[in-house]
Amino acid sequence: MTRAYRSPGPADVSAILGVQRECYPAALREDRQTVEQRIAAARDFCWVAHDEQGLFAYLFAYPSTLGRVTPLGGLFHVQPGGDTLYLHDLAVSRRAARSGAGSNLVELAVASALARGFTHAALVAVQGSRPFWEQHGFVLHEAADTTQAANLQTYPGTAVYMRRQLRSNK
Ligand SMILES: CC(C)(COP(=O)(O)OP(=O)(O)OC[C@H]1O[C@@H](n2cnc3c(N)ncnc32)[C@H](O)[C@@H]1OP(=O)(O)O)[C@@H](O)C(=O)NCCC(=O)NCCS
């Protein structure tokens, strides 16, 4: 089956919400308006995967600053000149689970981050996904202050902030 990866558009939102429903319990889901805002704010930093059966995975990211945690449902405030590509949400439909799609999306995002000069990629790992991110070179990074710790606590269950250094700081 042929797979392709591209940036999402407004017409993809329903399919993205379908994958989100499969991958997250209600407490971790974001609504249509939030997903639309993410695409409008940072389309060039978001990717979807599709094949003959349609869209089956997505990764939403945006330029941020190392140490800054995006709360669940929080808007993407793109930071021009930010040093970190923040990977907010990666999800793969059950029909494509463990077939490399999640890894492919991470590799796309990291390649884009490197090409654009970011020094780090970062994210909040939820639902026991920490080992997946460790396989991709991410390590734990302590919340910088009480604001960031509070943002982390908006995620139910165990949630940890992780970062991967892509190049040395200038
Ligand atoms: C995490 C996720 C994106 C991984 O995508 P994927 O396409 O299935 O993963 P890949 O095929 O690229 O990588 C497979 C390897 O990653 C690891 N891995 C995959 N999913 C994992 C998970 N949920 N927890 C821990 N390790 C995981 C395993 O080592 C796996 O290898 P194995 O199948 O030989 O055991 C996918 O499981 C998912 O969508 N989960 C639900 C949403 C979610 O929690 N996303 C993370 C948000 S931080």
pLDDT digits (tens, 9 = 90+) for 142-152: 988 999 999 99
What's the rounded mean pLDDT across residues 31-56? 97
What is the 97 CA–ligand 1 centroid distance (Å)? 7
Write down the number of H helices and E strands in the chain.
5, 7
Domains recognised in the chain with CATH numbers? 4-165 (3.40.630.30)
Q: Is the CB of 158 under 6 A from ligand 1?
A: no
Q: Which residue out of 129, 133, 158, 162 has the highest number of ligand 1 atoms within 8 Å of its CB and is therefore the one to mutate?
A: 129
Q: Is the CB of 92 under 6 A from ligand 1?
A: yes
> pLDDT tens-digit profile of 103-125?
999 999 999 999 999 999 999 99
Pick from 56, 167, 34, 36: nearest CA to 105: 56
Of all atoms in ligand 1, which is nearest to the CA of residue 98? Answer: 11
Q: Is the CB of 100 under 6 A from ligand 1?
A: yes
- CA–CA dist 88, 109 (Å, integer): 11
CB atoms inside a 10 Å sphere around CB 68? 18
* Length reported for the chain: 170
